[in-house]
Amino acid sequence: MIRTFFELHRELIVFAHGLVFFILGLSIALQSRSYSRLELARSLRWLAAFGFTHAFYIWGYLFIPIQQAYLPEVVINGLHVLHLILLAVSYTFLFYFGVALIKPSRFYRWLQALTLCLLITWLLITFVVLDPQADWTAWQATSNALARYMIGFTGALLAGYALRKHTMERIAPLKVPHITRMLKISGIMLGIYAFLGGLIPPRVSFFPGSLLNESSFEEMFVAPPAVILSIVGLILVLAIIRALEIFNVETERRIEAMEQQQILAAERNRIARNLHDGAIQKVYTAGLLLESARKLPPGDPELLSSRLQKAETVLNDAIGDLRRNLEELYEHREEETSLIDALQSLTDDPRYHSLIEINTEIHFNGKEEMAPVRVDHLMAIVHEALSNVVRHARATRVSIQAREEAGRLILRIIDNGIGMQNQRKTGYGLRNMRDRARLLGGSIEISSVNGKGSIVELNIPWKDER
């Protein structure tokens, strides 16, 4: 009954079989990334070419019989020849997909030449050595089997091995486990296809096709090879479609890197402005004081001492400014710390504890650590907020409150100063705080009332949700 079912629906099975490979080619073509830096992007076009050409080869089993009622025999024979060439060319594309993934390798040029040699050898055997006039049907079956043995089997095996090797060496280090898993599954499916598609030809008179062929396979497993190959191809298509998300990940990471560069550039500009308006001006002032002291008459030691004392005070202030700027440049680069430790360390931070009182209230257990790069961005926001409080708010006390709610971190920085006034809109530091909050996938809100202090509230997801 099962054999009868497959026999009655053979045309539908052939159509579905071809459709699977056509979708493979189409999905890759629609997701092509010519600008991608990944070698996988340039190699996948050969897999797409295999999908398209192999689909048309499979659909040839439907198209050619339909044309037999309308076209002369010589044209039909020409279509059968094109059908065989299409099979060999499709396997050549699959073979070259594996070759492209191996690049760079000392075997790359050798395999590149082997791909063309196999196709040329098959063409010579098919059209020069074998005689289609002797037995047309046997000639078709023999040429089909040789294409599968010579190019299809080796090409699919090479493609499966190369895809797995490329995944472990190039994709796995990108830390995208779901994509790595999908590419591994794709490699396994290509390996299975090597045996099912490369070693099961139509029945031929020579080994191994005389024992293992489409007829013997159907007798053994009831279902024709096209059914199993369709299932294998469908799994391959689904895995490849999921794996194509690697290009979206690459794009997001490049955008994130650009945003980080913008933030760093803005911070450099801010520090440069601070140096120009602070330390450099103070050093210039100290120079003027020393120059005026040099020009004083020698009979007035008190005035000379006063000028030198003022110059010393200004220079000490300039040194303090330089140290603060250096600390901002090197903060968070010494070692990676947990978020709890980083927040708790603020109470004893020498940059702040002598100027303001800092209290921390942490309401999360810290069992699941936040990613180090996110901790760095978050602590940069906290330090910027505290720096603003120290410089502008005239506050004596700051409270830092952190809690976890539904997978998100809510952090509030509250001071008892005079408020942030117009700096809330124009400051370099506040602009960087907002940029970093956006980079973390969250938001930052700043509320301030003149004479009653300020509240900076940061709301970000605990994990990177992109």
59, 18 contact by CB (below 8 A): yes
> Residue 265: what pLDDT?
75
Residue with the bigger pLDDT between 307 and 147: it is 147
- pLDDT tens digits for 385-414? 887 887 778 888 999 999 988 889 999 999
Report whether CATH 1.20.1070 matches the domain 2-243: yes
pLDDT band for 334, please (50, 70, 90 cuts). Answer: very low
Residue with the bigger pLDDT between 174 and 160: it is 160
36, 244 contact by CB (below 8 A): no
> Taking the alpha carbons of 179, 182, 186, 188 in that order, is the dihedral positive or negative?
positive
Identical fold for domains 2-243 and 336-466, yes or no, is no
Backbone angles phi, psi at 207, to 5 degrees: -75, 145
Average pLDDT over residues 193-214: 94
Percent of the residues in the chain that have a pLDDT greater than 90, as a whole number: 49
Q: Provide the whole-model pTM.
A: 0.68
Longest dimension (CA), the chain: 127
pLDDT at 332 over 60: no
Residue 280, helix vs strand vs coil: helix
Cα distances from 221 to residues 24, 216, 225, in angstroms, run 26, 9, 9
pLDDT band for 440, please (50, 70, 90 cuts). Answer: confident
Residue with the bigger pLDDT between 10 and 298: it is 10
Nearest CA among 24, 61, 68, 62 for reference residue 46: 24
> Residue 328: what pLDDT?
65
Average pLDDT over residues 170-186: 92
In CATH terms, the fold of domain 336-466 is: Heat Shock Protein 90 (3.30.565)
pLDDT at 367 over 70: no
pLDDT at 441 over 90: no
Q: How crowded is the C-beta side of 398, counted as CA atoms within 13 Å?
A: 29
For residue 126, what are the contacts with CB-CB under 8 A and spacing of at least 6? 84, 143, 146
Residue with the bigger pLDDT between 350 and 295: it is 295
> Residue 432: what pLDDT?
77
Domain ranges of the chain: 2-243, 264-330, 336-466
> Residue 329: what pLDDT?
65
Nearest CA among 133, 169, 208, 136 for reference residue 39: 169
Query: What b/e string do you get for 263-296 counting C-beta neighbours within 10 Å, with b at 16 or more?
Result: beeebeebbeebbeebbeebbebbeebbeebeee
Q: Report the distance separating Cα 332 and Cα 348, nearest Å.
A: 15
pLDDT at 97 over 60: yes
